[in-house]
Chain A
Amino acid sequence: MRLVAALLACLAATPAIPAGAPITKEAMVAMLKTLDERQRNQGDWKALIYMEQKERDKADVAYECLVFRRDKDEKFMILFTKPKAESGKGYLRMDKNLWMYDPTVGKWERRTERERIGGTDSRREDLDESRLAVEYEPADKGEEKLGVFTVRHLALTAKPGIDVAYPVIELWIDVASGNTLKRQDFALSGRLMRTAYYPKWQKIFSESKGSDVWYPMEMRFYDEVDKANSTILLMKAVDLKPLEANIFTKAWLESKSR
C-alpha cells in the first residue's frame, strides 16, 4: 500500500509536460491521468462550497452547499445549506442516475448530466471526481501563453457511449504545475457553450491516499450562450475524514430536512 502511495505521489509530483515541442498521445493521456489522479482521493471527500450566479436582468443568486464524494464507489452528493429557501435541497448520484431532491415537496426527480447545479453555470462534473482520461480522447493543439503562464492546449473529445455534459472540451494546462487553468466546453455542433478559469489550486495531504489531493479553490464560469451570465464557485474548505457508511442514500438526504 505504501509502495502504491509512493508511486502515486511520484506521478502527481512529476512535471508532466515537456517544454515546447508537440507531444505524443501517450503523453497527453498521461497529463490527463495526472490531473485525474491528483484530484482523486482514495477515501471520502467533503467540501463546503460557495456559488454565486449573475444572470441577465435578474437579481444575483448565491448558495452554500456541502459536496460529498466517495471516489472508490463513484458516489456523489450535494446538500444545499444556504440560503434558507434552498436549504435541504440536494443532488445524489447513484449509478448512472443523477437525482434531485426538493424537500419543499418531498420529491425526487431524475436529472441529466447537463443539469445546471442550482441553475448556475456549474455542472455535476465540476464538483465530482475528475475522470478526463477515462471519458475523453485528447489531441494536441500546441503550447501557448495564458497571461504569464505557459500552457499546453489540448482538445478533448468524449469517448463513444459515455454520457458527459459536453462532448468536446479544450484545456489549457499549466506547463509548470500541471494544473488546468482554463477550460472551454463545446456542444456537438462545435458551438462554444462555456469558458471556465481555475486561477487558484490547493493541495492537502490525504491520510487515506497517502499523498496530496489537489482541488481548484476558485472556479469562474462564463456562459458563452448568454454572455451576461457567469458563476463564481469557491471551495471554502475540504475535509477528507471518513464519512458515515450510509450517507449516499436518499433516506439520508431526506433526513436532513425532515
Chain B
Amino acid sequence: MNPDTFVLLVRMAFRNLFAARLKTLIVGSIVFAGAFLVVLGLSLLESVNDGMSRSIVDSLAGHIQVHAAASKDKLEIFGGMGGFPDLAPIPRFPLVRDRLLTLPNVKAVVPMGINGAVATSGNVVDNALEKLRDSVRRAGKRPTKALRAEIGARKALVRRMVELLEQDLLSAASISSEKAENAVTIANVHRAAQPAYWARFDDDPLASLEYLENKVAPAAAEADMLFVSYIGTDLDAFRKSFDRLEITDGTFVPPGKRGFLFAKFNYEEMFKVKIARRLDRIKEAKEIGGRTIARDPELKRWAGENVAQTHEILYQLDQLGAEAVERALQRDLKLPGLKLDALLAKLLDINDTNFAERYRLFYADVAPSIDLYKVRIGDDLTIKAVTRSGYPQSVVVKVYGAFQFRGLEKSALAGSMCLIDLVSFNELSGFPTTESTAEIAGMRKAAGAKAVSRETAEADLFGGGTTTVQTGHTGDVRIPDRLSGASSRRAGSAFTPADLDRASVLNAAVILKDPRRMSRTMREIEALSKKEGLGLKVISWQTAAGLLGQLVLLMRLVLFVAVGIIFLVALVVLSNAFVMATLERVRDIGTLRAVGARRGFIFAMIVVEAAVVGIIFGGAGAVAGGAVVELIGWIGIPAKSDVMFFFFSGPRLKPFLRISSVVIAAILVLIVNALSAGYPAWLAARITPRQAMATDE
C-alpha cells in the first residue's frame, strides 16, 4: 500500500467515524474503558507487588532462600498451617556460605533458623513467687542489705496478691456450685493471707515458698502464655544485610554476645500491660483513624475491657505502691475517700470527651508504679521452646532492645519475628552435637537394650518364655553429690566466631546485588549445589513467603480474568457494531467497488476505521489511566490495617506508572480491534456493485 492510499484510507475513516458519531462514541467508550482499566489495574498490582516484595525481602527473607534439600517440610518463612517448618540443618554451612559468595550476583548470605517459643508462663502469682524465690536463693544465709530490701519488697507484693486472691476467691465462691473444692482452696489461701504466716515466713523461707507455690498459686487465674516467633541468626550479618532494621528501644546486641531483640510491634502488642496497650490503641484510632468511642464498637469494647480488668494493675502494686497510686488518683480525679479499685475503674471509664485527660492521668499516676511491660528491655528473658517431641528446652538471654523495619512500623507480619543469636537458637532447638551424639551412643551400648519392632513385639516379648518374673535384691543406687554437666547458659555470655561456625543453620537468606537477575542467580545456585554436592534447595522470596507470596500471583490472575472478560465483551460488541456499520454502508461500498476500488482497499478501509477508533479511544483510555495512577501516586492510598501496611510496605501505597502497563494496554486494544474488525472487513470486501445495486434503500 502506497502512502497516498494510506492517507486516503485514514481520511475516509475519520469521515465515516465522524458521520456515525453516536456509534463511534459508544464503541470508543468500550475501548477507552478497557485501556483505562488495564493501565490502572496493572499499575496498582505492580505497585502492591513491589511493596509486598520489599516488605518480605527487606524484613526477613532476602531475595532468595536456601535450605537443606533433605528437609521434611518446605520452608515457609512466616510459618504455615502446621506451625514452623521442620527443616534439617544445612550440611557444612560455612562452606556453603563461602561457595555462594563466589557467585557474581550474590552480595551476602545470612544464616537463619525460624521457630516459636513461650516467653513467659505461669500465672501472675507464679511469676511473683519465682522472683521471690530467686531473691531468697541469692540471699543465702548472709543476705546483703540490698538483698534484704529486695526480698522485703517482693514479699510485700506477694502478700498483697494473696490478699487480693482471697477476696476474688470468696466472691467467686458465692456464685459457685463446687463448694467443697472451693472451701479447701480458700482455706489454703486464707492461711497464707494471715499476718501470722508472714511473721513466720523468714523462719524457713523455702518451705514457706513451697506452700505458696503448691497450695496458693494454682488458685490464681490461668497463666497468660506469651508466645514469640523468632529468627535465630548471625545478628551482625543480619543487621548489615537488612538495612531497614532500626533499633527503637535499648541497643543492638554487642558482637559476639548472646542476646535477644524484640520486634517492636510484637513487643507492644504482646508484652505491654493490656490496659495500657488498649489505651494506646484507642488514642491512635482517634488521632489517626478519626474513630470515636461513641460510634466505634471496637473502641467501646476496649474501653469496657479496661474497666473490667483493673486487677491487671492491682496485682502489680504492693501496699506502698497501692497507697501512692490511690492518693494520686484521689487528688487528680477529685474523689477523696474512694478506694483504689473503684478509682481505677473510674479512671478507665472513658468517653470521647474525657479520653485525653484520662490517658494523661494513667501515664502520670499509674504507669510509674507498675511494670508497663511484662519483660523490660535489659531484663533476662527465659525462653522455653518445645521440641517436636514435646520436651522443653530453655535458655536465658538478655533482652538488649527492640527493633523495627523502617516503613513497616505498623506491619504485624514484618513485626512478628524477634531476633535471637544463632548459638542460643541452637540450644533451644536441641540440635545434637558431635560430643552429645558420641555420649548417647556410649549410653546405648552400655544399656544394651534390644530393639524390638512394633510389628513383632508380642511374638518377640511373649512368644517363648514361660515366666516373666524374677526375684532380685534391693540395689545400691547412689545419688551424685553434684551434677557438673549442666552447662550454664547465662544471659550475656559470649560466644566465639568458631561457635557461630559450628552452629546448625536451617535456612539462609541470599541477598543479591541486582535483584532483577534473581531467576538467573537461582539457576546458578542450583547448578553450583549440584556440581559440588551442597544439597541445597533454592527458592525465591515468593515461595519462601508461602501463601502470602502467592497472593500477588492470585491477584494478577484475578485482574487478567477480569480484563479478559471485559475485552471478550468488547470484542463481541465491537464486532457487532462494525458489522452493523458495514451493512448500513453496502450501497457506498458497492459504489466504491463500481468506481474501481479493489476488495483489498475495502478490507483495509474497515480495518483502518477500527484502528483509528482503537488508537484514539484506546490511547485516551491509557492516558486517563496513567493520569489517575499519577494522581493516586501523588496522594497515596492510606494503609488502614496492619495487613495493608505489609502489602503497601509503609503507611501509604504510592502507585507508579510503568511503560510496560501502557504497552500491554496498547497491544490488547489493537488486538481486540483487529479481531473485531476482521469479520466485517471480510464481509465488506465481498460486496459487489451488483449486490449493492440490488439492495433497497
Contacts and interface: CB of A to CB of B under 8 A. Distances in A.
A247 to B, nearest CB: 9
B206 A250 contact: yes
A155 interface: no
B486 A148 contact: no
A47 to B, nearest CB: 7
B463 to A, nearest CB: 4
Contacts of A81: 480, 483
Interface stretch (A22-30, A134-142, A236-244): A236-244
A199 to B, nearest CB: 4
B462 A149 contact: yes
Interface in A93-131: 94-97, 100, 102-110, 115-116, 118-120
Given A55-B389, A62-B447, A220-B461, A105 B485 contact: no
Contact of A204 (B122, B126, B473): B473
Nearest to B482: A256
Given A94-B210, A227-B454, A110 B440 contact: no
A165 interface: no
Contact count band on B = 35 or more
Contacts of A59: 432, 437, 440
A193 to B, nearest CB: 13
B49 to A, nearest CB: 36
Given A105-B395, A220-B452, A148 B463 contact: yes
Interface string A174-218: 101101011000000000000101111111111000000010010
Nearest to A121: B389
B642 interface: no
Nearest to A199: B461
A201 B449 contact: no
Interface string A74-93: 00000101111111110000
Nearest to B207: A249
B447 A120 contact: no
A204 B474 contact: yes
Contact of A195 (B387, B392, B454): B454
Contacts of B482: 255-258
Contacts of A97: 213-214, 218
Contacts of A230: 454
A10 interface: no
B461 A147 contact: yes
A251 interface: yes
A185 to B, nearest CB: 15
Nearest to B454: A222
A234 interface: yes
Nearest to B463: A147
Nearest to B435: A84
B392 A100 contact: yes
A48 interface: yes
A62 B443 contact: yes
Nearest to B443: A62
B696 interface: no
Interface string B209-231: 11001110010000000000000
A116 B458 contact: no
B439 A84 contact: yes
Nearest to B470: A202
A66 B470 CA distance: 22
A20 B259 CA distance: 67
Given A59-B437, A257-B486, A110 B443 contact: no
A179 B468 contact: yes
B102 interface: no
Contact of B483 (A60, A87, A179, A201): A87
A230 B389 CA distance: 11
Contact of B462 (A58, A109, A199): A199
A158 interface: no
B596 interface: no
A105 B489 contact: yes
A166 interface: no
Contact of B470 (A55, A103, A200, A241): A200
23 contacts: A59-B440, A61-B389, A61-B440, A83-B443, A84-B487, A87-B483, A87-B486, A97-B213, A104-B488, A105-B394, A108-B130, A120-B389, A147-B462, A148-B462, A148-B464, A199-B461, A200-B470, A201-B469, A203-B469, A220-B457, A229-B389, A251-B206, A256-B483
Interface of B: 72, 86, 88, 121-122, 126, 130, 133-134, 137, 206-207, 209-210, 213-215, 218, 382, 384, 387-392, 394-396, 427, 432, 436-437, 439-440, 443-444, 447, 449, 452, 454, 457-459, 461-477, 479-480, 482-489
Given A81-B480, A204-B472, A251-B206, 8 more contacts: A50-B447, A59-B440, A105-B489, A106-B396, A108-B130, A179-B469, A237-B476, A256-B480
The 3 A-B pairs of least Cβ separation, nearest first, read A119-B391, A147-B462, A237-B475
